Amino acid sequence: MDVPHTGAPLAVTSPDPVSSPEGQCPPAISLRGVVKRYGPITAVDGLDLDVPAGSCLGLLGPNGAGKSTTMKLLTAQAIADEGELHILGHELPRDSKQARAACGVVPQLDNLDVDLSARQVLQVFARLYRVPRSERGAAVERALAIAQLSSRGDALIDELSGGMRRRLLIARSLVHRPRLVLMDEPTVGLDPQVRQELWSLIADLRASGVTVLMSTHYIEEAERLADTVAVMAQGKVVAQDTPGALITQHAGKETMEVYGRPDRLADLEGLLREAGFGTRRTGPTLSVLRAEELPPSVVDRLTLDGVRRAATLEDVFVLLTGEEIV
Amino acid sequence: MSSTHVEHPPGESRARRLRRIEPAAIGGVLFRERTVFTRYWMSTTFSSVVEPTIYLLAFGFGLGALLSEIDGLSYIEFIGTGIVATAVLFSSAFPGMFGTFVKRRFQRTYDAILAAPVDVGELVTAEAIWIALRAGVYCNAPLLVAVVFGLPPSWGMLLVPFIGFLTGLGFALLGMFIAGVARSIDNFNYVISALLTPLFLVAGTFFPVDAIPGGAQIATANPLYHCVELVRGAVFGFGGPGALLHVGALVIFAVTMWRLAIWRLTKRLID
């Protein structure tokens, strides 16, 4: 079910601030060789990432891939040990305050002031983000409309449902009409219906021209919302492209799933590896990538209990990160 | 904006506008505190006012009946002025410790604020100003109660809120520094028992500091003692330029704690 459109403009499409000689926008986010260590652990390990202005980039990776650390680096709540970071043309960490003033941030963990009303939360953030006095009232009401809480503006945060709080958290990040919104796992831990609601909200935001960087470990979320997906593993971006191109490039057109007894699957695995095909095991299933390229001789030995399906981003994710999805 | 608009080189003109400690950032954090305060002002005000008042009445009547005068003051005059410092301590060090720890660790409020254009220095400064403002107001409560019970009113009492603010600033920042050091909220027990209790007993509040051997020397290192001396000076008349030394001690205390709190909380809040 789609969320009814509130009619409230999510954010202004900022006019292109700097025109480079080629007439192209500089990337909203540009990271080069970024390294962040915590003692012996290297959370971010030579990260390169560009997020073009006006696009939605999904940073997809398993837990521990360095997504949250990357998000913290972008607001200078973590300081990189090495590398260059630019946000909207501002160098980090030196000019991070200017960058933060132009960004909205949706945290992974709810940090709303529970004693306040929805409207008060937005009033506080309108001040923190320096919305001019004359525009504050309108900005707060606009953000309430984005959160679909216009009729419940005076309800205390404690009285709101989990989904309403999440919507408010997103609306809170938009109160100053940022050019760039950073979302750290915006739908983590929510039930599927609420997640779909938030997807509509994020899709609207993206349609309004705001640049979005969204970290997630939900494949479907990245596939639906992101123009570009950057797959992150062990602190690096291991692949970056449109979801479709990533699938074609890394997983081919088709994946074949073979069900069977473990010993039989082990035999098949050996056979397929010999023939040069990538496989993965998920419980009682063996998946064969690039199944469309399987030679008939091999197919003959599989078709008995194999099912062909279109390759998905999940196949790419598992292939590139070596992680199974639960 | 037209396409011919010339953008300032990044970080040049805007860097000047966004200074290290900006009033807009301080104002934003203060606004948040003020808004949250509208929800819990009753309980905070109750504890900040009632607790020192109970000390005042208990000691004033209990001990006052046994004593005739201390340093030429009746006991209600002595304790009624001294207890102001206790009120400042209670309404600044405790919110500094517990409030900061809760907002940092449990509510993650500071993560949200620091994602906005607010730096740790501004956050610490604003939070300390807010607590000190409250301390400057709350510390008048026991003084007013003392007036009801026989402390003669004087114009100098109008200085008491300012003394409370300055002292409260230092103790709020001390509390925030401790909240930046503490690993768990239980760690505060050590600080309360080993630091705050002696500070509040050896400040000349309930008895003159020189009643203890070496007490006069120890007390000069206690910011609360300087607060007590300033309050007595304001109410009964300053004896000379010595008051400036007390003010100087409180300024040094506040500035030192400001630096320490910013240093420690930066370590905690920025990875």
pLDDT at B4 over 80: no
What average pLDDT does range A150-162 have in this prediction? 94
Closest chain A CA to residue B14: A98
The per-residue pLDDT for B238 is 86
Domain boundaries, chain B: 20-269
B104 neighbourhood in chain A, CB within 8 Å: none
pLDDT (0 to 100) of residue B2: 38
Q: Looking at residue A22, what is its pLDDT?
A: 46
Same domain, A65 and A181: yes
- pLDDT tens, residue by residue, A78-115: 999 999 999 999 998 889 999 999 999 999 989 999 98
> Residues B17-31: pLDDT tens digits?
445 789 999 999 999
Q: Are residues A53 and A96 in the same domain?
A: yes
Confirm whether A293 is domain-assigned.
yes
Q: Are residues A131 and A46 in the same domain?
A: yes
Report the percentage of chain A scoring pLDDT > 90. 50
Average of pLDDT values for B30-43?
93
pLDDT beyond 50 at A17: no
Please indicate if any CB of chain B lies within 8 Å of the CB of A95.
yes
Say what the pTM is. 0.87
Q: Are residues A207 and A304 in the same domain?
A: no
Do A164 and A127 share a domain, yes or no?
Answer: yes
Give residue A154's pLDDT.
95
Q: What is the mean pLDDT of residues A265-289?
A: 81
For B159-196, how does the pLDDT look when each residue is reduced to its tens digit (9 = 90+)? 999 999 999 999 999 999 999 999 998 999 899 988 99
A75 touches chain B (CB under 8 A): yes
Q: Where are the alpha helices (DSSP H) in chain A?
A: 67-74, 96-101, 118-128, 133-146, 162-173, 192-207, 219-225, 243-251, 262-274, 296-300, 313-321
Residue B225 has what pLDDT?
95
Q: What ipTM describes this predicted complex?
A: 0.86
A36, A120, A129: residue with CB nearest B117: A129
Q: Considering only residues B90 and A265, tell me which one the structure prediction assigns the higher pLDDT.
A: B90
- Confidence (pLDDT) at B19: 54
| DSSP label at residue A184 | E
What SS3 state is found at A75?
coil
**A151: DSSP letter:** G
pLDDT at B89 > cutoff 90: yes
Q: Say if residue A215 is in the same domain as residue A286.
A: no
- Is the model's pLDDT at B202 over the cut of 60? yes
- Interhelix angle for A243-251 vs A313-321, to 10°? 60
Reported as a pLDDT band with limits 50, 70 and 90, residue A304 is low
- B145 versus A7: the higher-pLDDT residue is B145
Q: How confident is the model over B239-252, as pLDDT tens digits?
A: 788 899 999 999 99
The boundaries of the domain holding residue A93 are 29-247
pLDDT above 70 for B155:
yes
A168 falls within a domain: yes
DSSP lists the bridge partners of residue B184 as: none
**B271 touching chain A per CB within 8 A:** yes
Per-residue pLDDT reduced to its tens digit, A181-224: 999 998 887 888 888 888 988 888 888 889 999 998 888 888 88
Does residue A10 surpass a pLDDT of 50? Answer: no
Asked whether residue A259 falls in the same domain as residue A179, the answer is no
Q: Are residues A120 and A199 in the same domain?
A: yes
CATH value at residue A261: 3.30.70.3110
- Model confidence band, residue A303 (pLDDT cutoffs 50, 70, 90): low
Residue A302's pLDDT is: 67
Same domain membership, residue A284 and residue A192 = no
What integer pLDDT is reported at residue A63 of this predicted model? 85
| pLDDT at residue A20 is higher than 90 | no
Burial of residue A313, with CB atoms counted within 10 A of its CB: 0-12 exposed, 13-18 middle, 19 or more buried: buried
Averaged pLDDT score across all residues of chain A: 86
Q: Could you tell me the CATH number of the domain that includes residue A216? A: 3.40.50.300
Interface membership of A1 toward B (CB under 8 Å):
no
A83 lies in the same domain as A210: yes
The answer, for A120 touching chain B at a CB cutoff of 8 Å, is yes
Same structural domain, A46 and A169? yes
Same domain, A175 and A40: yes
- Average pLDDT in the B207-229 region? 89
The answer to whether residue A24 sits within a structural domain is no
Residue from B6, B16, B38, B114 whose CB has the most chain A CBs within 10 Å, to mutate: B114
Among A13, A30, A124, A172, which would you mutate to test the B interface (most chain B Cβ atoms within 10 Å of its Cβ)?
A: A124
